[in-house]
Structure formats: structure tokens, C-alpha cells
Structure 1
Amino acid sequence: MKIFMIGGTGLLGSEAARELIDRGHSVTSIALPPLPAGAELPPKMKIEYGNYLDMTDAEIKAHFKGCQGFIFAAGVDERVEGAPPIYDTYKKYNIDPIKRLLRLAKESGVKHAVILGSYFAYFNKIWPEMELAKWHPYIRARKDQEEAALSFADSKFDVAVLELPYIFGTQPGRKPVWVFLVESLRKMKGVTLYPKGGTTMVTVRQVGEAVAGAMELNKGGNAYPIGYYNMTWKEMIKIFHKYMGVPNKPIITIPNWLFTLNSKNILKEQQAHNIEGGLNLLKFTDLQTSNEFIDKSLGCEPLGVQPDIIDKAIGDSVKLSLEILENKVETVGMKAE
């Protein structure tokens, strides 16, 4: 299958391309420069550097010509903050492109599309009492992105949205999302204070397998909750501590009110700088202290995702984060593309 991807140089896009090429597919991609120093892309993936947002419909259709598959592995996540309303930023990079690109893909004869989304959209559906899309602009945007994507699906056009969780693994030269947590844990001397709850997670390799599985197996319009390993925060932090060289550092579970107090302080700082985040910190406590778990039978197993070594993937993420904090390596952060 000939596949066109947006975001092929990113951590997830490059791994998906590698898996697809190993399975005999061909992949071409548009991505924003620069390529991270040391990044190893699949040698058979064809890359064009540029911003698809600046391209005309005709230019994008030229990339779709002869393709049977399309992957959207770009956009921005909840780390992006900005002037309110921040939802408009998410709409620009996550929702509007889906509406445009899937329309162009269908017009060009593409048969299969895979969109990389967020597991927050899954929890928004199964925990309606939390009203997550109401309170959190980022979660609302992911819900809207998913609904927009699935609205294009029909008997001739298959659309899969992968509701991706916490992801561990590294790409040389690419800043992991985990730098903030490693830095926070380092600042807590003697003991780590963390709330109750937990999360589901996968490795980068497993994301590549999920993308390839969705491209090959999905029929119609479906959202797949992706999660393979479920851990409480305490279990996850213990692994962080191990790779940070403090395996015996105590972890104390703090009450919800204390977590909320810290969130209020962050919110005040955001407001002082006229910045809005994607997650409403006053409402975030309930979500953060829940067990955000996903059974692998819901998405990973149907898509053929195989077991991996999550401990090593976490360790790789922690070690690269430490190197960044100690100014031992140069990396590039997330890009809006």
C-alpha cells in the first residue's frame, strides 16, 4: 500500500513509518524542519520538508495521488499554552486540518486513514459525570477532532482514530514529554509527593504497531482506546526513581486538596501572564487522581499490538530527560505542524 503521512519525522510518525515499511508498504511524508540531530529515520521513507498548512489544495492532492492510505501524525497536545481562548489554537492545528485533509483524501481516492488522537477523548466518553470536554479546552478539542474524523467514514473510506495514552520511548534529538516530570521529581528532596491514581501507557514501538494495524485492519469509522500497561502513579514513579539513581526514595501519596492547591498556584501564574492551558487546573484533580486505565483488549489486541519492555522504555525516556536537564545533549521540542 502506498501511504502519505503528515508528521513523519516525529517520534510517533517515524516509528509508524518504520513499522509500515517493514510490512512492505511505502511511505512518503511532509514534515517541518529541522530533523533532530541524531534522529534515525527509515531510509526508505521519502521526506519533503515544509508546512502543509501553507500548501494549496492542489499541492496536497498531488501528494495523495496514487495513495491508498493517509496518516495524520501531527498537531499539538496539551503542553501547548497560549493567549485565551486556547481552544482556537487546538482547532487550528488539530481539528481544521482533519476536516480539510480527509476531504482532500476522499476526493483523491484514498481508502484508509489513521488519525493519532488522545485517550482523553475515550475518558470523556466513559466518564460523562466529569464533563471533561466542558471544562478542559484540550479534551474538547480532541473530542471534536475525533468526531470530525469519523464523520468522513463510509463504506469506501475507512477512518481509525487512535486514542493514545502516555507513551514511553525516545528519538535521538527529540525532547521527551517527560522532562517536566523528571525535573519536578529532582526538586523534591528526600521524598516524592504525588497524588493517588494512575494511567495506562504504551511504548513507541507499540504505537507504530497500532498505526500499522489500524491501516491494515480497520473497516468503517472506529475510535480505538490504546493502552497496554496500567500502572498507578506510585508504580510508575518507582521506575522513574530507579533510573534517576534514587531507587529507595520514599513516595508519599498526597491528599487531593494538596494537589489542587498546587494547581491553583500554577493557574494564578498562567493568568498573570494572560496564558490559558489546555487543561483547567481547578478541575484537573478529579481526572489526575483517577485510574485512567485501558484494557489492551479494547484497542491493542484487535490491532495486533505485541508486548514490549515498558520498564526499558520508561528508562530510556528518563535517561534522555536527565541528559537534557544536565545540558549534555541538544534537542528540539514539539512543533506545531
Structure 2
Amino acid sequence: MRIAVIGASGLIGQHIGAELVARGHRVTSVARTPREGVDHALDVETTGVDRWTGLLDGHDGYVFAAGSDDRATPRRPAYPHFRRGNVEPVAALSEAAARAGAGAAVVLGSYYTHFHRAHPEWELAGRHPYIRSRVEQARAARRSGLPVTVLELPFVFGRAGARLPNWAPALASWARSRVPLAAPPGGTAATTARRVAEEAATALEERADRDTPVADENLTWAELLARTAEAVGAPARTRRLPAALVRGALVAGGALAAVSGREPGLHLPGLGDLLLRELFVHPATGSVQRALEETFAR
């Protein structure tokens, strides 16, 4: 197959490209910034259907590994920012792929959409602009009838050269510092960039149409911090962070953002309802230990 990987220079995009090549497929790499190994430098927010159609001509599918992540805090209202980054590019790609005769697609999404389906009573899309964008992104991807696999990703460990998860440097600095490690209740599912690449390649080969939450291991926040500290060579006891303190800090952060005219993608006053839960995905039968050690290698 010939596959266009959009976001090919990112951590997961690099792993997906390498996995596809290892399986004998051809890859067209697309990224925002021109650099060695990038075939097309395009901004997904400004590239229209006609341009995507020309690029996808002769391709069997595409992978969307770009977009806006949940750490962004744009000017309020926040949703238009996340729509421009996550929904509109995928809608354009979906139409372009149909015009070009591509046979399948993979979109990298968020495991929050998994919990949106599993727990409608949490009202995640209504409360959080970022999650709303991911829910609508999945709908936009299927608008033209193309088989699409949405990989719903939690914390992703691993590295690709110098490329790390965006959150990893700050977490490593905390673990190496003298500031005590403190974890609230709750936890998260976790996976690896390599596992995501394998899932993406298989979905394209099968021309699958499904929503797939990806998880290798479920970790409490205390376990995640302790294993990070161990990986950076600064093992330390993780203390208990009271849930009330976390909620209070998030409410204060939300008020500060409002005063500055900004709005986070994850509504801070309601974020405690997520962070303090065990956002675990089942089945999770693997391990992220090796990728975690690679992420925080000294």
C-alpha cells in the first residue's frame, strides 16, 4: 500500500511510518515544518480539500497523527481552536480521500472519547471543548463513508530519536528535583508509540472501521510517578495528595484562566472528576515498562 502519514515528524507519526515501511508499504510523509525526511510541508489548518485530493491521488489510505492536544489554552471560547485543529482537517481529508479513491484511514484520537461512549452521564463532550472536538473528529472522519479506525490513545510512552511525549520533560524534571512526589487518587491507561504504530498498520491493512481504545497497562498516578522516578535514577517515595487539594487547585486555575480571557481544552473545575478517577481501559495485558525507561533515559 501507499499511505500518507500526516504528522509524520511527531513521536507517533515516526513510529507509524517506520512500521509501515517495515511491513513493505510506501509512506508519504506530511508535516508542518520542512525537514529531512518530510515529503510535503503543510499546515493542516490551512490546507483545503483540493490540495489534499492532489496529495492523496494514488494513495491507498492516510493516517492523521496531527492536531491540537488537550494542553492548549486558547483565547475563549476555546472550541473554535480545537475544531480548527482536530475536526476541520479530518473533514477535509475525508472528502479528499473519497475523491482520490483511497481505501482506508486511521485517525489518532483520545481515550476520552472511549469514556464519552462508556459513560454518557459524565457529559464529557458538553463540559470539555477538547473532548467535544475529538468526538466530532471521529464523526467527520467517517462523513464520506471511508472505512476509518479511530485509535483512542491514553498516555503514550516511547521516543523517536530526540522526539519525546510533550509532557515527559516536565515530569522528568519534577522526578529529579527535590520537590516531594505527591499523587492524587485515580490513574490512567497507558500505551507505547510502538503499539500504536502496530495497531495503525494493522487497521490500514484490514481496512477496518472501528473505534479502538489502545492500552497496554493501567497505572495509578502513584505508580506512574514512582516508576518515572525510578527510570530517571531518583527513586523516591510517592506521597498521597488529597483529592480536595487537587479540586481546589483546578478551580483556582480555571478562575485564573477566565480572568486572563483564556479557556483550557479541559474545563479545569470539572477536570478533577476525570483525574481522580481510575481511567482504566480493559483489556490491558501488556507492559509499558521498556518504553517508559526509553522515555526517561538519562
How do residues 249-264 of structure 1 correspond to structure 2 at under 5 angstroms?
Answer: 249-264=236-251
The answer as to 2:198 corresponding to 1:209 is yes
Shift of 1:21: 0.8
- Matched to 1:257, the amino acid is A
Q: 1:314 aligns with which of 266, 284, 292?
A: 292
Once the two structures are TM-superposed, the CA of residue 273 in structure 1 deviates from its matched residue by 2.1
User: Does structure 1 residue 91 correspond to structure 2 residue 80?
Assistant: no
Matched, 1:267 2:222: no
Q: Deviations over 1:310-332 (max 9, x none)?
A: 22321232347xxxxxxxxxxxx
- Please name the residue that 1:329 is paired with: none
- Report the equivalent of 2:19: 19
User: How many Å separate the matches in 1 of 2:50 and 2:245?
Assistant: 54
Counterpart-to-counterpart distance in 2, 1:150 and 1:317: 34
Q: Secondary structure at the match of 1:214?
A: helix
Q: How far off is 1:181 after superposition?
A: 2.7
Aligned partners of 2:20 and 2:201 also within 8 Å? yes
Q: Counterparts of 2:176 and 2:253 in 1: how far apart (Å)?
A: 18
Q: 1:71 aligns with which of 45, 63, 66?
A: 63
Q: Which residue of 1 aligns with 2:169?
A: 179
Do structure 1's residue 293 and structure 2's residue 280 form an aligned pair?
yes
What is the identity, as a one-letter code, of the residue corresponding to 2:126? K
Superposed CA offset, 1:196-234 (max 9, x none): 111111111111101101111243x31111111111111
Question: How far apart are 1:162 and its partner, in Å?
Answer: 0.7
Q: What one-letter code is carried by the residue in structure 2 that aligns with 1:140?
A: R
Deviations 1:214-269 (A, max 9, x none): 111243x311111111111111111111123331x221222221111121232233
Whole-Å separation in 2 of the counterparts to 1:10 and 1:94: 16
CA distance in 2, matches of 1:143, 1:175: 26
Q: 1:268 to 1:63 in 2, by over 3 A?
A: same
1:53 Cα deviation (Å)?
A: 4.0
**What are the Cα deviations for residues 42-61 of structure 1, in whole angstroms up to 9, with x where unaligned?**
xxx76222324444533322
Pairs within 5 Å for 1:1-337:
1-33=1-33, 35=35, 47-153=39-145, 157-176=146-165, 177-185=167-175, 189=179, 191-219=180-208, 221-247=209-235, 249-296=236-283, 310-319=288-297
Letter in structure 2 aligned against 1:164: L
Give the drift of 1:186: 5.0
Aligned residue type for 1:130: W
Alpha-carbon spacing, 1:56–1:152, altered in 2? closer, same or farther (3 Å): closer
- In the TM superposition, residue 187 of structure 1 has moved relative to its aligned partner by 5.6
Secondary structure at 2:218 match in 1 = strand
Q: Could you tell me whether the CA contact under 8 Å between 2:44 and 2:89 is conserved in 1?
A: no
After superposition, the Cα gap between the structure-2 partners of 1:178 and 1:231, relative to the gap in structure 1 and judged at 3 Å, is: same
Offset, 1:73: 1.0
8 A Cα contact 2:76 2:261, kept in partner: yes
Q: CA 1:281 to 1:54, structure 2 compared with 1: closer, same or farther past 3 Å? A: closer
Give yes or no for contact 2:91–2:143 (8 Å, CA) kept in 1: no
Cα 1:275–1:64, aligned 2, differ >3 Å: closer, same or farther? same
Tell whether the 8 Å contact from 1:267 to 1:281 is kept in structure 2 after alignment: yes
* Stretches of structure 2 lacking an aligned partner (at least 5 in a row): none
Aligned-partner SS, 1:231: strand
2:14 is aligned with what amino acid?
Answer: S
- How far did residue 9 of structure 1 move? 1.2
- 8 Å contact 1:3–1:27 — kept in the other structure? yes
Aligned-partner residue type, residue 17 of structure 2: A
Cα distance change, pair 271–46 in 1 and its aligned pair in 2 (3 A): closer
* 1:283 aligned counterpart, secondary structure: helix
Matched residues, percent identical? Answer: 31
Distance 2:43 2:83 in 1: 17
Give me the TM-score of the superposition, normalised by structure 2: 0.92
- For residues 28 and 34 of structure 1, do their structure 2 counterparts lie closer, same or farther at Cα, with a shift above 3 Å needed? closer
- Aligned letter for 1:210? E
Q: TM-score scaled by structure 1? A: 0.82
Deviation string, structure 1 residues 73-107 (Cα, Å, up to 9, x no partner): 11111011110111111100100111111011101
Q: Residue in 2 aligned with 1:327?
A: none
Any idea what SS the aligned residue of 2:101 has? coil
Letter in 1 for 2:226: K
Q: Distance in 1 between matches of 2:172 and 2:252?
A: 20
- C-alpha separation between the residues in 2 aligned to 1:127 and 1:57? 35
Q: Is there any run of 5+ residues in structure 1 with no aligned partner, and where?
A: 36-40, 302-306, 321-337
Looking at structure 2, the residues matched to 253 and 291 of structure 1 have their Cα atoms a distance apart, in angstroms, of 15
